[in-house]
Amino acid sequence: MPTSLVVALALALALVVWPPAPTFAQGTPSAVGPTIPRDSLVARLADLRRIHTPDGIELLEPVRVDGTMQWVNVRGKHRDNPVIVMIHGGPGTPTLSSAWAYQAPWEDFFTVVHYDQRGVGKNAVSADRDALAPTLTFDRLVLDAEAMVAWVRERLGVEKVIVMGYSYGTMLGMALVQRRPEWVHAYVGVGQVSGSGDDYLYRKLRALATESGNRDALRELDSIAPYPRPGAPVSSVLLTRKWARHFNGGWYGKPTFDLLFSLPEWAPEYTAAEVAEQRAATQWTTRTLVGRGAAPLPTTFAVPVVIVQGKHDLHTPYEPARDYVDRITAPRKRFVTLDWSAHVPFLEEPGRFLQVLLDEVRPLAFVPR
């Protein structure tokens, strides 16, 4: 398996360890203090986020792609704004279900499109996994992304979009840009896969554990040596990501992803059943994709490239990502560091992330090339 896919799937395997689902009593989440039924809570969030401008757009609908139905969400306050198509990572961990927590300011300046990839997210409840399994490959996911961009271009009446890949989705996004550069204003990578992250990660974790005197971390890391290695069990990948989060490499200042994984519980676009089914769908997607290949990471782009990386990211480690971008040639490229972020910079430093989008990305949609 190509090294780049090993790295991305290592990230994915770390992400599929969801915390236990919240306890519900008579339709309400368990909590200290007054409880609010989920339907009431998400209805208030939906009302808060409702697009109110006359020329805005707010869509949530399934789109048929290669015999599957894949849900798409389109939001923006002005239809003449540039369009971002966000390709989520995992694989199988949608951003559509957490976008409510960070995306509203983007919608003043962009029309933002999320879609749940085949078999996951809102698609999971009705998915026939036996039928989908043979089709779940890296190449197929790239073709799905191409079909989604084609749908966006037709539905929104735009010639080009900004492709934003997140984590595993950076590989899909780069492959899409190689196939259809004429459809793309710019490629934006967030949590950029580099192809050499796991070797760096293991050495970095041992150094951090040694520096902090964390004997538990050292003992557990030593137990999986040598790492990485072909055929290493999934448990060793999960162990490295556990300690990556502990050392601020997941969400800076938080030792777990429990908060990140709880966000879909309040997603207005999701039902409670869809949230619950998504947990199993992510694990199924990862198991199915393991060993099914990926494209080599490109080093030449026909469109501008902007990489936004949290300095503390250890899921898709910062240093290898920066080294990879140094090797890229493109009409324009920028590597932007967010100093107090790790793997979810749009949640960790939302103001600075938006500033990057406005300063570095939005102008690229108005520059003729």
Tell me the pLDDT tens digit for each residue of 282-301: 888 877 887 677 889 999 99
Q: Worst-scoring range by mean pLDDT, 69-78, 120-129, 194-203, 205-214?
A: 194-203
The residue-averaged pLDDT of 300-312 equals: 98
Residues 6 or more apart from 183 whose CB is under 8 A from it?
149, 150, 153, 159, 160, 161
- Whether the pLDDT of residue 14 is over 50: the answer is no
The residue-averaged pLDDT of 189-196 equals: 91
Our CA dihedral for 305, 311, 312, 313, rounded to 10 degrees, sits at 0
Is the previous residue joined to 82 through a cis bond, with omega within 30 degrees of 0?
no
pLDDT in tens, 146-187: 999 999 999 999 999 999 999 999 999 999 999 999 999 999
- Count of CB atoms situated within 10 Å of the CB of 218: 17
Q: Where are the beta strands (DSSP E) in the chain?
A: 24-25, 28-29, 57-65, 68-76, 83-87, 111-115, 161-166, 184-190, 305-310, 333-338
Is the previous residue joined to 91 through a cis bond, with omega within 30 degrees of 0?
yes
Domain ranges of the chain: 3-21+34-363
pLDDT in tens, 135-154: 999 999 999 999 999 999 99
The residue-averaged pLDDT of 128-134 equals: 91
Q: Which of these, 306, 309, 307, 303, lies nearest to 330 by C-alpha position?
A: 303
- Count of CB atoms situated within 10 Å of the CB of 55: 11
- What pLDDT score was predicted for residue 3? 45
Six-digit token pair at 68?
């599957």
CA–CA distances in Å: residue 123 to residues 62, 63, 117, 128, 134: 9, 10, 8, 10, 17
pLDDT in tens, 249-292: 999 999 999 999 999 999 999 999 999 998 889 888 877 887 67
- What pLDDT score was predicted for residue 27? 47
- Whether the pLDDT of residue 307 is over 60: the answer is yes
Chain-centroid distance of CA 1 in Å reads 22
Quickly tell me which residue has 């910079």 as its tokens: 345
Six-digit token pair at 271?
């039902």
Question: Does 3-21+34-363 carry CATH code 3.40.190.10?
Answer: no
Integer Cα distance of 63 and 69 in angstroms:
5
- What pLDDT score was predicted for residue 368? 64
Mean pLDDT of the chain: 90
Residues 6 or more apart from 46 whose CB is under 8 A from it?
268
- What pLDDT score was predicted for residue 234? 73
pLDDT in tens, 330-346: 999 999 999 999 999 99
